[in-house]
Structures are given as structure tokens and as C-alpha cells.
Amino acid sequence: MKKITLSALAVLAATAAAPAFAQEAGDWTIGIGIANVNPKSDNGDLAGMRTEIDDDTQLSFTAEYFFTPNIGVEILAATPFSHDIDVGNGAVTGETKHLPPTVSLNYHFTNFEGFTPFVGVGLNYTTFFEESSSAGKLELDDSFGLAAQVGVDIAVSETAAIRLNARYIDIDTDVKLNGNKVGTAEIDPVVLGIAYVMTF
């Protein structure tokens, strides 16, 4: 009876164990989810007036290639983000869209009971387009900046996981209004994401 009970407990433990989501050298992961780009609260002064830029949420896509079981290079892409711009508490309003593709070198820690934390650093390129303003022609220069992220993959199977992550991206853009430079907008957002990630 004791042997049967121990065997049953072993089977139960094996059944209840979390799946191991892990990669090997040469693997790819593809992630599909949503990301919220939330600029910092004070975005600098434009024409001497305080500037605020709001947040937006869009679809996100990632692809990562693993050089080792722990180290991978990831590319982040998304559908265009749209942000309202408020200068001087409504004295001037505007809007812009942007795309922030980011390349990161990630380190994935050892899987621990279905949880795989990771950290990453990389480079962001942000391009702005479809700018508009209540005061005339608005132009925002493209931006290069550093990026960093932390996150965790929560295994749902041996080849899939739910990914939660947070990024910081350094985005500063020179702003022109009617051809005249009026300052630099310091966007510097935190990007919060959730995605379904699959290994191939």
C-alpha cells in the first residue's frame, strides 16, 4: 500500500509540474501581443511652454534568434502609435504617429518552475509621421536612443509562453513649428507589454 501511495504521489507531482518553456541555440521565438507606450509626465518645453504627450496602446510583434540557450537578439515592431500633444495647457494642441522599432540583446535566465525571467539592452529608432498642429505645420525629427527591458515568460507549454515585460526607451525629438525650431520633446516612455510567445 505504501509503495502504491508513493507511486501515485510521484505521478501526481509529475502531472502538476509546470511546463518548461526554454530555447536552444538556433531557435527562434515569435511573439504577438499588445504594448502601451506611456511617455514620462513632463515632456520638456516647446516655445517656452510646458509640453505633455499622452499614451497609446497598439499591437506588438517580436522575433528573437537564440545564439545560445540564454542569449538572443530580438527585434520589436508594432502598428503605429498615435499621441496627442498639449503645449501650454491647451494653448497649442497637436498629434503625431510614430513607429519605434527596437533591437535588443537579451539574457534569459534558467527556467524556474515555469517562469523564465530575462533582461535586455538595445537600440531604438523612432520615426514620426502624420504630424498636425492647431498652430500650423508641425515637424518632429526621427530619434535614436538606448533601450532596456526586464520581463518574464510564463510557460503554458514546452513551446509557448505568456510574456510580461517593461521597457524604457530614450526618445528625444527636435520639434519645428512652421519651419522654426521650438525646442526638444523628451518623450522617454515606459513601454508595458503582454504577448503570446512561441518557439520554433
Average pLDDT, stretch 76-89?
95
What DSSP state is assigned to residue 79? Answer: S
| Residue 186 and residue 156 in contact, taking contact as beta carbons nearer than 8 Å | no
Which among 99, 81, 76, 80 is positioned nearest to 30, based on CA atoms?
A: 76
CA 50, CA 66: separation in Å to the nearest integer? Answer: 44
Please write the tens of the pLDDT for every residue from 59-80: 999 999 999 999 999 999 999 9
Q: What's the pLDDT score for residue 86?
A: 93
**Which parts of 109-171 are beta strand (E)?**
115-133, 138-140, 143-157, 160-169
Q: How confident is the model at residue 20 (pLDDT cuts 50, 70, 90)?
A: confident
Q: Tell me the average pLDDT across 173-194.
A: 94
Domain 2-199 has CATH 2.170.150.70: no
- d(CA 34, CA 74) in angstroms, rounded, equals 16
How far apart are alpha carbons 32 and 181 in whole angstroms?
38
Q: Domain ranges for the chain, please list them.
A: 2-199
**Phi, psi at residue 142, to the nearest 5°?**
-65, 160
Where residue 18 falls among pLDDT bands split at 50, 70, 90?
low
- Give the residue from 78, 192, 81, 169 showing the smallest Cα distance to 123: 169
pLDDT at 10: 43
Query: Contact 56/36 with Cβ under 8 angstroms?
Result: yes
Strand partners, 22: none
Q: What is the mean pLDDT of residues 101-106?
A: 98
Give the cell for residue 149: 527591458
Gap between the Cα atoms of 168 and 147, Å rounded: 6
Average pLDDT value for residue range 81-101 = 93
